[in-house]
Amino acid sequence: MGDVGREGAGLTALLDLADAAGRATLADEPGEQHEKDEGSYGGDRDHGRHRDNGNDQGWTHLPQHRDLHGTAHPIESSCRRQPGRRPLALPLMRPGCTNLPGMRTGLLRSLLAGTVVALLSSCGGGTSDESDAGRLEIVTTVSPLTSIVANVVGDRANVTGIVPEGTNSHTFEPPPSAARTLSRADVVFVNGLKLEDPTRDLATKNRKNGAETVELGTQTLPEEAYIYDFSFPKEEGKPNPHLWTNPVMTARYVEIVRDTMVRRDPKNATTFEQNAAAYLAKVKAFDAALRVSTATLAPEKRKLLTYHDAYAYFAKEYGWTVIGAIQVSDFEDPTPREVAALIDQIKAEQVTAIFGSEVFPSPVLERIGKEAGVRYVDELRDDDLPGEPGEAGHSLLSLLRFDYVTIIESLGGEAGALKGVDVGDVVKDTARYAQ
């Protein structure tokens, strides 16, 4: 075997050892629950309670912003408290609970990641110019972001997702092997709003010269417009990060990706601009259809109780009310007392359906539905795209259509407008999605 072959084999063995050591360290931590470090980049689809810019409209004029059709809306939270009633939000962090990995685990991962990158450098590193004829290497985090980026860049860059689909992105810790992917990246697109801080930090530590990290959510929304709510209390300092469930904000993500790629790769600017324009047209059509379908429900029926708190920005934009979420901020199940309070509030709110996750079934939410006498729908997807990578329906717009058709029809509305909208990708999605 030549020198390059031996070095490659040595790196592979080191990465395998690093991941195995990380798992062993996690297993040794007493009294804590952790995500398993498995899958393409450390995820486990079966583990955990929840796996969880053309002439554009001025979508970023916040705290007063305009929708896709030019109408101005003030920023305000849709998650309301009713006088004399405890909000459906449950105690949000129990004393002594933590999802942070132990100090030994964090230290081990940092040391191993540093070793991997040092070895890569000594082997020549394999830059994008050397490995793929100058195509930029783009790394993303959660799959909705990967889908957006893939539609803008098309075949003019290599796109790799880091967070496995179906993984709880709030608690995801990238394994040392992710350092290799991040060290080769020219641009790393993350959501921000503290969703994927461990991955962002690892990217910063291993960033090559000239590379950058772009926080799409942070550039889309000013701090005064952050929503803190049931699963994301302000005292913990982490706002609700799920901006992509609001198509108006999805459009802004597309603009930021387009502008970043034009700046980084001007020779392909025309392609990026054309792809983004086509994608924005689809997002605008989706937004219009969503408003039509929402209007088939009376305002008093537009109430959401979900397992995961992923729809706050959607609700604010489209006139819905999020009355609560089952999954509290420490990502544990609610206590029996909290369950009883939920049942009481469901009855008081006259909610007709509550929504769970297809990826993470919740026996607790199912029991709440039975005891409250309401329909339990366990089909929503938060950031796990439908189908498999490469399939026609594996896209963010397909995910959003599926969720909102499910919600509207389950509550008695008509979703024909949404069903008729084109949610296909504008180019072939060749991104590598972590599974």
Residue 426 counted as domain residue? no
Dihedral angle, C-alpha 310, 313, 314, 318, nearest 10 °? 150
Please give the distance of CA 16 from its chain centroid, rounded to a whole number. 27
Element (H, E) at 17: helix 3-28
pLDDT at position 265 is 98
Residue 297 counted as domain residue? yes
| Tens-digit pLDDT string for the chain (435 aa) | 444 344 444 444 444 555 554 444 444 443 433 333 333 333 333 333 333 344 444 344 444 555 666 665 554 444 444 444 333 443 333 333 334 344 344 444 444 444 444 444 444 334 444 446 689 999 999 999 999 999 999 999 999 999 998 887 888 888 888 899 999 999 999 999 999 988 899 999 999 999 999 999 999 999 999 999 878 889 988 999 999 999 999 999 999 999 999 999 999 999 999 999 999 999 999 999 999 999 999 999 999 988 888 999 999 999 999 988 876 555 567 788 888 888 898 899 899 999 988 766 778 888 889 999 999 998 898 888 999 999 989 999 999 999 999 999 999 999 999 999 999 999 999 999 998
Residues in the chain: 435
pLDDT at position 314 is 97
d(CA 220, CA 315): 17
Residue 2 counted as domain residue? no
Question: What is the secondary structure of 119-150 as a DSSP string?
Answer: HHHHTT---HHHHSTTPEEEEESSHHHHHHHH
* CATH assignment of the domain containing 361: 3.40.50.1980
The sign of the CA dihedral 197, 205, 176, 25 is negative
| Strand 187-190 relative to strand 72-74, pairing | unpaired
Residue 100 counted as domain residue? no
pLDDT at position 316 is 97
With b for 16 or more beta-carbon neighbours within 10 A and e for fewer, the 108-140 pattern comes to bbeebbeebbebbeeeeeeebeeeeeebbbbbb
Which conformational region is residue 173 in: left (phi greater than 0), alpha (psi within -120 to 50 degrees), or beta?
beta
Which tokens go with 328? 């509290």
pLDDT at position 168 is 77
d(CA 324, CA 204): 35
With contact defined as beta carbons under 8 Å apart, do 125 and 385 qualify? no
Detail the DSSP E strand segments found in 258-385.
303-306, 321-325, 353-357, 375-380
Residue 152 counted as domain residue? no
Strand-pair partners of 187: 138, 212
pLDDT at position 332 is 66
| Strand 303-306 relative to strand 212-215, pairing | unpaired
d(CA 216, CA 258): 11
Which tokens go with 331? 């990502």
Look up the domain containing 359 and give its range: 70-88+284-419
d(CA 330, CA 67): 33
In terms of DSSP H, where are the helices of 29-176?
103-122, 128-131, 143-153
In terms of DSSP H, where are the helices of 301-362?
312-318, 336-349
Count of CB atoms situated within 10 Å of the CB of 419: 13
pLDDT at position 359 is 67
Element (H, E) at 74: strand 72-74
Q: 215 CB contacts (<8 Å, ≥6 apart)?
A: 190, 191, 192, 193, 200
- Give the count of domains, the chain: 1
Residue 93 counted as domain residue? no
Which tokens go with 316? 């604010």
Residue 368 counted as domain residue? yes
pLDDT at position 86 is 37
With contact defined as beta carbons under 8 Å apart, do 381 and 358 qualify? yes
Strand-pair partners of 136: 157
pLDDT at position 36 is 37
In the sheet that holds 353-357, the strands lie side by side as 321-325, 303-306, 353-357, 375-380
Residue 291 counted as domain residue? yes
d(CA 220, CA 320): 21
d(CA 276, CA 290): 21
Closest to 173 in 3D by CA, of 18, 11, 359: 18
